Every structure is written in C-alpha cells, then in structure tokens.
Structure 1
Amino acid sequence: LQSKKWSIAFITLKLSRNFGHQNALLAGLEYAAHKCDCAISIDCDLQQDENMFDEFIRKYQAGSDIVLGIRNDRHTDSLFKKQSANVFYDFMALMGTKVVKNHADYRLLSAKALQLLGAYKESNLFLRGVIMDMGLKIDRVYFDVKPRSMGESKYTLAKMCAFALNGITSFSVAPLRLVSVIGFVFFIAALLFLCYVLYVKFWTHDAIFGWASTAILLCFFSGIQLLSLGIIGEYIGKIYTESKRRPRYIIEDIKVYEGDSME
C-alpha cells in the first residue's frame, strides 16, 4: 500500500425487508467474503470501541482466523440489563451451547473463516455458535464499552429470550434430553405412587381418597406433558423451517460511495 494509490469506498447493502439481525450481518459478511483478507463486524450504535481495530489486525497477522471482541465489564448497562445478560450466558452454557461471555458480534473473521461461514446453510442462524463451531484458531481482544450517545437499545427482554431459544435449539439437544430425564423421573414417581395406592388399598382401611390429590396430580403431570410437547414442537418447527430452504436474505440494492484517493 505504501507504493500504490488506493481509495476508500463505502458500500451499503439494502435488503428487501427486515430479515433479522443475524441474517443482515450474514449478508454483509458473505458479500465481503471474496473481496478482502479479513473483515471486522461492529454494531452501528458505536458503543463498541472502534479504536481496537489495530489490535484485531495484529491478532490476525499473528495467525488467528477469528478474533473475538469481548467487553471488559457492563458498567454502562442498567442493573436489569446486567442481570438478564448474566442469566442469558449462564443458561446458554448450561444447555450446552458454545458461547463466550460478554462477546456479541464485534469480531474479526479471516478470508478462510468467511469462506467456511458460507458452508453453514441453516436458516435458523446463530452466528456466535457457528463461529465457535468452525474449529479455527481464535484469539480475543478486550475493550471498554462507550456510553450510548443517542437513542435506546431495541434489544428487549423478549428479543433476548427469543435469541437464546434460537441459539439453544440450533446448537444443542440438551432440552430434548431434559425431557427424557423428566419423563424418567416422573415415571419412577408414578411407580412409587402406584405402590402407595396398592398399599392403602390392601393393607389399610383408608381406601377413599379426596379429589384434591387426584386433581393436583392430573394438573401437574398434564403441565409436564405440555411442556415436553412444547420443547419437542420447537425442534419440529426448526426442521420445518430448514426443509423449506428459503433464502436467508434478499439484497434489493447495493450502493457504492467512492471516497478520496490516497497514497
């Protein structure tokens, strides 16, 4: 670059509709896959420290294909945001999903990583899990989050829960195994209760039971069944979405803004 002229170009991709945050990010990464040696993704709210780009590049030049940007702390977040984020990461780890605490989508991907990213064709995209699944060399850069200069975060608790559910069901079968464990536990409990009923029937004179115990058991086990069906249904819904093979995003327009030439 020192002996050649080069210019800066700003490129924007306009999608035909809102395909979601993860798919929009994927569109930019796939567009850049064959046009660069590496790419850095950063949120547009500019809370992530863009001054760390040089450190990302140094880690890349040292041989890392993936460099994760990890925030040092959450002092800029509200108490509710801090607690909900901690619960999010802890729950994801408990369910067997590979995530790095306090890492969002501020990262560097090498050209090799970008090409591998194109091999992941699932519609229910969870980039944080995909990145950790590649098996490439990973390094980390730590940064301080800057206060939000304007506006408010649109990442509500409902969106965070939906994001966590998508990540868990996309990369872990732990909930299905949990259903099996719950089913086994309550099967044993049912056998013990059956033994108790037979004991009362044949060895005591208290064979008449009240409606309360029956109603409680029916409601309890019905709730467990509905919960289990809901978890299984979530996975079936994922299979249904994947089977349709619809495009994850549609680029409506690409605009290129040429900057000044430099040496």
Structure 2
Amino acid sequence: MDHGRTTISVVVPFYNEAAGVEAFFARLFSVADAMPDYEFDVVAVNDGSTDVTLARLLEARERHGRIHIVDLSRNFGKEAALSAGLDRARGEAVIPIDSDLQHPPELIPDMIRRWRAGAEVVLARRNDRVTDGPLQKFAAGMFYRMHNVIAETKIPPDVGDFRLMSQEVVEVLRGMPENRRFMKGLFAWVGFRSEVIPYDVAPRLEGKSRFNVWKLWNFALEGITSFSTVPLRVWTYIGAVTSLLALVYAAYIVIKTIFFGTDLPGYASLMVGVLLLGGIQLIGIGVLGEYIGRIYGEVKRRPVYVVRKEFTVER
C-alpha cells in the first residue's frame, strides 16, 4: 500500500456474474487510473456462484492486480456478501457497488469530492426506475412508503447499496451483532452526515434481475420486521376492537332474547363469524411467527457467512 495516497476500498458482491466480470473491472479501473492521488483496493466477494465467476475473478486479479477475492462456501445472499466485503475493507473510504454496471463507477470521483468536503456518507439515489418492470416499480414504491410510515429508522427512497462511507461509519457497521442483516436499514440506522448524488440507472450489463415478486415480498418482510414492532402492536389493537365488538354483539343478543325470544339460529352468520375470527387469529399468529423466527435465527449465533478461501493482494 502506498502510504502517500489515500486508499479507497470498493466492495463488490458477485453471484453468477461471469459474463460481466471483465467489463466491470475495465470500467472501474478506468475511473481509478484517472485518480492518481488515490489507491483503489477492491474486495470482490464471490457469493457461492455456480458458474465460472471465481475463475473470471482470478483472471481479473492476474490482469489488474489490486483485487482481494473472498470466496464464500455457498450462496449466503447479497446482505451477507456485503458484510464479508465490509469486514475486509480497510480504506479510508468504502464504496459498495453492484457488478452489473447499473451503478456507474463514473460517479465515484464525485462521491470522493463530497466526502473530502465533509460528508461522512454519500448516497447515490437513482433518478427513476425505468429499468424496472411495472410490478417492481409498484412494489418498491409501496415498500418505501410502508416502511417509512411504521419504522423509526427511515430509509431514503430509491437509494440502494451504492454509496460511499467513511471508515468510521464502516467500523460501526462491523460492530453490529445482527446475524440476519437488512443492510439498507443498517446503513440508515447508523446515521452520520450524509449527502445525496442523483444518477441515471443503466440497463443491466448481462442477464436480468433475480429479484422476483416472491423475493421482493420476503425482502420487504425482512426490512419491516428488522426495524419495526408496529406489526405486533397493531394486533393488540385489532384484538381489542374485535373483543369490544364481540361484547357489544353479545349484549345485543342477550337483550334481544330477553325481550323478543329466540330466533332460529343462522348457519350462514355463524360460519361468517367463525371464519372471520379464525382468519384474524391466523394472521396474527403469522405476524408473531415472523418475529419469533427472527429471534430463533439470532439466538443460534451462527456466523453471517463462511469463507472457503481468500486470495489477498500482495503489498
């Protein structure tokens, strides 16, 4: 490491991205080479890829140098891969970025200027979601609105993992003990002085997004249950209101029976009541189960990721 230059760590998760590895590093190092006052240290995390991504990363390491490869033992997910990269990022500033080039590396010099001017976190916010399908746009909009209404920690809309963080911010993130990590929420929770840079999202370099509706739904659940207990509290009020209505209806039945006698019992109304209350109870149990599942996952204290092998950069 050249101690006369400022080191910038770039953290890049890879999962089955073999076709785009060389194009990504060509763009990234083109930007890095135009900034001679900075030394770029890349941490590439192979998140259990089943294609030849690791081989392509090793080729890129031979060609470009400056690439520290972390090969995980299986696919642990992007949040774990980011954590593995942040754990090894020793630069004075750290930049997580996707490898599909939807996050433009050309934005990095502006990020560094904002950081040098005093920002501890520089967020990259996408101008639009033209590369997403209608369902993805709707789901993303609903998630941000719902999350920011019920959670104490607000997540900036349309801001992903692409950002610059000072080493002080990354140190705080490393010290957070969660096993199930919702990184967008953790990034927002730590705070620090932040600035926002808008950017236009480019089409994916290769392939298509792996986030289908089911994964987006589970991702939203993970975020909401990580940073809000409102879903649990809501069921207290639902239960109270339902009990009150049941008491009012019971009083009505008693009074009606005393003064007007009994009617022939109605099968339909009975079934509606049973199914309605049963459905409410099952939904409540499901919400409770989400939180119990998180507790179960945390108390086991398994590691967030497992490393098969590391290929470090020779200094």
For normalisation by structure 1, the TM-score amounts to 0.91
SS at match of 1:225: helix
Map of 1:112-127 to 2, 5 A cutoff? 112-127=168-183
Contact 1:22 1:127 in 2 (8 A): yes
Contact 2:86 2:174 in 1 (8 A): no
SS at match of 1:18: coil
Q: CA deviation at 1:5?
A: 11
**Counterpart amino acid of residue 94 in structure 1:** V
Where does residue 48 of structure 1 map in the other structure?
103
User: Which whole-Å deviations, capped at 9, do the CAs of 1:208-248 have from their partners, x for residues lacking one?
Assistant: 32111111101110111111111111111111111111100
Quote the Cα distance in structure 2 between the aligned partners of 1:181 and 1:151.
46
Q: CA deviation at 1:89?
A: 1.4
Which residue of the other structure, out of 71, 83, 96, is the alignment partner of 1:26? 83
Moved more, 91-100 or 190-199: 91-100
Map of 1:1-263 to 2, 5 A cutoff? 1=4, 9-32=66-89, 35-96=90-151, 97-256=153-312
User: Which whole-Å deviations, capped at 9, do the CAs of 1:20-55 have from their partners, x for residues lacking one?
Assistant: 1101011001111xx210110111111112111011
Q: CA deviation at 1:88?
A: 1.8
Contact 2:126 2:159 in 1 (8 A): yes
Quote the Cα distance in structure 1 between the aligned partners of 2:98 and 2:240.
45
User: Which whole-Å deviations, capped at 9, do the CAs of 1:164-183 have from their partners, x for residues lacking one?
Assistant: 11111111101001111111
Q: CA deviation at 1:77?
A: 1.9
Quote the Cα distance in structure 2 between the aligned partners of 1:209 and 1:5.
81
Q: CA deviation at 1:86?
A: 1.1
Q: CA deviation at 1:95?
A: 2.6
Quote the Cα distance in structure 2 between the aligned partners of 1:46 and 1:103.
16
**Counterpart amino acid of residue 169 in structure 1:** T
Gaps of 5+ in 2: 6-35, 41-64
Query: Please, what is the CA RMSD of the aligned residues?
Result: 2.1
Quote the Cα distance in structure 1 between the aligned partners of 2:122 and 2:244.
48
Quote the Cα distance in structure 1 between the aligned partners of 2:37 and 2:104.
29
Aligned length: 257
For normalisation by structure 2, the TM-score amounts to 0.77
Quote the Cα distance in structure 2 between the aligned partners of 1:149 and 1:215.
55
Quote the Cα distance in structure 2 between the aligned partners of 1:234 and 1:19.
20
Q: CA deviation at 1:194?
A: 0.9
Quote the Cα distance in structure 1 between the aligned partners of 2:38 and 2:278.
71
Gaps of 5+ in 1: none
**Counterpart amino acid of residue 29 in structure 1:** L
Contact 1:10 1:258 in 2 (8 A): no
Larger relative contact order (Cα-Cα within 8 Å, sequence gap ≥ 6): 1
Moved more, 249-258 or 131-140: 249-258
**Counterpart amino acid of residue 23 in structure 1:** A
Quote the Cα distance in structure 1 between the aligned partners of 2:266 and 2:100.
61
Q: CA deviation at 1:90?
A: 1.6
